[in-house]
């Protein structure tokens, strides 16, 4: 290790000027003996890094000693014998300015902040030279004769010697680093300038470019509006075109005035939003998230389609919409960026005004009753199937009927005849036909044959689609019943609907015989159990078909679950269908609960007599007997009267 270079000889120090102790000086540090000059007494000389003695107070010799002098006289006599102390220097910063009390507090705060920042930076620094991030400099310091952990503070004499040492190796003297804020730094030597003091800068005295006048200060334009800036620029342009005496300048060419440009026509938007409204309608479906919904079209079986009408959450609350509401409204076309038609206003809901719909009673709070209003199904004398139903299995408003049928017994044709009879004899009833998991050709035939709303989901569709269409149909029927309407749903078949619910049902540990989940039949039962006659007006009639003897254990379990839930049951016999005897109705096994509420006493007594007469007959013999007797009469009343003869 090379020995340290010898220090250059220091310049002789100038003798310190002897001054009297400064008056009214507050001692801040008793160790260093530094005095702080109040900010109000800081003079220009002190700012020039000079020690200014405080002027001694003038004493009037004629006047006697003051009270303060008398009190301090004793202390002055006592201190006279003491040796004279060194003169205390004013505490100044690195720029040579006196440090006031306020500035001392700021410097202490800045020093503390710098230490905290340095500690944080040292903690976040990557480990380069060792596991603990320390290099060998500490060992080098120890070899040089230092412990590395000694007191790093320097006394004021050592600091003064370090700052005033001669430059080494012919290099210029390095001034101490100035870490003070910008406003406290001394001006640069290359370009002296005064402190800004938050005042706008003076314009530079540069030469004008290309013979132009120097640009004025633009700081004043910050608070001007756009029109004021334009006017100011025009005024400056006019002033540059004139001499100081007001005559036009000839050293530069005059600009020709610009011709006024014609006002451009506003560009037409890419797409004009038409403010027209058109009539529309649909069945409301509420989305599970967001509170908004859509009006679904019946032409798409109430599924998502381009004809959907968007209903905002505010409109849902405004009109008190529920899932299944049939809405007649006005809509507007979709605007740019929109996908669906938007609801503008509501004309009616479920055949009622908006005010009437607000006061409706929820469907679950309605009182169910037995069916007491009969729906007559007889239309023509040759329509034997509907005439047999009127005699042995009458249907009333609010009936919950179950048609138990084997495959190929003519249940679909029977449903068509019942639907046509209801639409013809009871036009006030809203008729819906729901075909679940059926063949597509039967759906087309049903839609073309029956004057009713046909909702279908063929067997090639998913189980989710089956369930969604069924729930939409049920919600619509409930909303109509709440508003006092009579609704009839013909379902084919409830067995396949239960299968669809079993498919979409999450699997559980409770599995019934046939592979049916224990909770899968709850929703089909709720669908079938919604049929009821409501007290105060309105009814929901559901006539559903159930399949038996299909070779599937699941179908048998489903039928057993729904066997006792209906209040009307109609049995179809496969033996009659094989003999081509239609309708293939098993009369002894068919009937209606509380049929006395639907039939008169005279008609009821005659039907009972007829049942007793056919009790000993088989299903085939009983049906053939009825067909022979009914064909010769015009209607059922004539047939019952002819029994006496």
Residue list, annotated binding site for ATP: 396-401, 408-413, 439
Point out the annotated binding site: 396-401, 408-413, 439
DSSP 363-392: GGGSPEE---SEE-----TT-HHHHHHHHH
Among 383, 391, 375, smallest CA distance to 611 is for 391
List the helix and strand counts (H, then E) for the chain.
Answer: 19, 18
Residue in the block written with tokens 């064909």: 631
Cβ-contact 499, 550 below 8 angstroms: no
Phi/psi of residue 283, nearest 5 degrees: -105, 130
Q: Hey, is 98 helix, strand or coil?
A: strand
Query: In what helix (H) or strand (E) does residue 613 lie, and over which residues does it extend?
Result: helix 601-614
How far does Cα 613 stand from its chain's mean position?
Answer: 72
Cβ-contact 487, 429 below 8 angstroms: yes
Q: Hey, is 597 helix, strand or coil?
A: helix
CA gyration radius, the chain: 54
Instruction: Quote the tokens at residue 45.
Output: 């000389």
Q: Which residues contact 508 (CB under 8 A, 6 or more apart)?
A: 517, 518, 519
Phi/psi of residue 612, nearest 5 degrees: -65, -35
Cβ-contact 458, 466 below 8 angstroms: no
According to DSSP, residue 340 is labeled S
Among 586, 588, 573, 470, smallest CA distance to 524 is for 470
Q: Which residues pair with 544 in a beta bridge?
A: 402, 491
| Full 3-state SS string of 580-602 | CCCCCECCCCCEECCHHHCCCHH
Among 203, 608, 180, smallest CA distance to 391 is for 608
Question: Cα–Cα distance between 358 and 25 in angstroms, integer?
Answer: 87
Q: Hey, is 17 helix, strand or coil?
A: coil
Other beta carbons within 10 angstroms of residue 34's beta carbon come to 18
DSSP 238-304: HHHTB-TTSPBP-SSPPPPPPPPPPPPPPPPPSS------EEEEEEEEE-TTTS-EEEE-GGGTTS-
Q: Hey, is 592 helix, strand or coil?
A: strand
DSSP 158-179: HHHHHHTPPPSTTPPPPPPP--
The alpha helices in 321-439, defined as continuous H runs, are 354-358, 384-392, 411-425
Phi/psi of residue 400, nearest 5 degrees: -120, 90
Instruction: Quote the tokens at residue 385.
Output: 């199937």
How far does Cα 597 stand from its chain's mean position?
Answer: 55
Question: Cα–Cα distance between 603 and 608 in angstroms, integer?
Answer: 9
Q: Which residues contact 399 (CB under 8 A, 6 or more apart)?
A: 371, 531, 541, 542, 543, 567, 568, 592
Among 507, 493, 496, 501, smallest CA distance to 552 is for 496
């Amino acid at each position: 290790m090379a020995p340290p270079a010898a220090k250059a000889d220091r310049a002789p120090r100038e003798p310190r000027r002897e001054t009297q102790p400064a008056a009214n000086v507050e001692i801040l540090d008793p160790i260093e003996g530094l005095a702080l000059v109040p900010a109000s007494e800081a003079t220009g000389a002190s700012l020039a890094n000079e020690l200014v003695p405080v002027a001694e107070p003038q004493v009037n010799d004629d006047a006697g000693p003051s009270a303060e002098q008398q009190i301090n006289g004793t202390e002055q006599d006592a201190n006279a014998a003491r040796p004279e102390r060194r003169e205390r220097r004013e505490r100044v910063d690195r720029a040579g300015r006196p440090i006031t009390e306020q500035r001392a507090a700021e410097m202490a705060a800045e020093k503390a902040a710098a230490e905290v920042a340095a500690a944080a930076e040292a903690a976040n620094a990557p480990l380069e030279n060792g596991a603990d991030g320390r290099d060998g400099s500490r060992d080098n310091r120890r070899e040089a004769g230092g412990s590395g952990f000694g007191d790093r503070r320097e006394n004021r004499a050592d600091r003064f010697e370090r700052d005033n040492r001669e430059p080494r190796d012919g290099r210029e003297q390095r001034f101490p680093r100035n870490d003070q804020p910008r406003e406290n730094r001394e001006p640069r030597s290359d370009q002296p300038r005064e402190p800004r003091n938050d005042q706008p800068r003076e314009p530079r005295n540069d030469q004008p470019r290309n013979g132009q006048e120097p640009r004025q200060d633009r700081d004043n334009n910050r608070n001007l509006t756009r029109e004021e800036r334009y006017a100011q620029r025009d005024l400056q342009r006019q002033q540059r075109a004139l001499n100081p005496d007001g005559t036009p300048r000839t050293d530069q060419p005059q600009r020709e005035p610009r011709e006024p440009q014609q006002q451009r026509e506003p560009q037409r938007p890419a797409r004009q939003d038409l403010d027209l409204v058109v009539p529309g309608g649909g069945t409301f479906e509420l989305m599970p998230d967001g509170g908004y919904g859509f009006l679904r079209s019946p032409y798409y079986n109430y599924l998502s389609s381009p004809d959907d009408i968007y209903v905002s959450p505010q409109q849902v609350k405004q009109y008190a919409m529920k899932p299944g509401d049939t809405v007649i409204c006005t809509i507007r076309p979709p605007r740019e960026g929109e996908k669906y038609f938007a609801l503008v206003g509501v004309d009616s809901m479920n055949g009622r005004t908006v005010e009437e719909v607000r006061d409706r009673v929820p469907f679950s709070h309605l009182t169910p009753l037995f069916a007491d209003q009969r729906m007559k199904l007889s239309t023509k004398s040759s329509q034997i199937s509907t005439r047999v139903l009127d005699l042995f299995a009458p249907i009333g408003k609010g009936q919950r009927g179950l048609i138990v049928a084997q495959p190929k017994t003519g249940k679909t044709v029977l449903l068509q005849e019942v639907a046509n009879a209801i639409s013809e004899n009871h036009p006030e009833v809203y008729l819906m036909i729901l075909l679940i998991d059926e063949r597509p050709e039967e759906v087309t035939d049903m839609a073309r044959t029956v004057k009713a709303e046909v909702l279908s989901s063929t067997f090639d569709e998913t189980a989710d689609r089956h369930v969604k269409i069924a729930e939409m149909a049920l919600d619509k029927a409930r909303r109509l019943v709440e508003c006092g309407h009579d609704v009839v749903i013909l379902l084919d078949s409830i067995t396949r609907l239960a299968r669809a619910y079993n498919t979409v049902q999450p699997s559980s540990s409770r599995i019934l015989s046939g592979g049916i989940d224990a909770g899968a039949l709850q929703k089909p039962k709720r669908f079938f159990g919604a049929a009821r006659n409501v007290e105060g007006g309105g009814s929901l009639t559901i006539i559903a078909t159930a399949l038996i003897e299909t070779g599937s254990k699941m179908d048998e379990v489903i039928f057993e679950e729904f066997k006792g839930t209906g209040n009307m049951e109609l049995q179809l016999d496969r033996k009659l269908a094989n003999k081509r005897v239609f309708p293939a109705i098993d009369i002894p096994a068919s009937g209606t609960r509380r049929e006395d509420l639907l039939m008169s006493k005279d008609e009821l007594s005659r039907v009972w007599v007829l049942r007793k007469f056919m009790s000993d007959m088989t299903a085939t013999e009983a049906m053939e007997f009825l067909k022979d007797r009914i064909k010769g009469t015009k209607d059922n009343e004539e047939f019952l009267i002819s029994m006496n003869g």
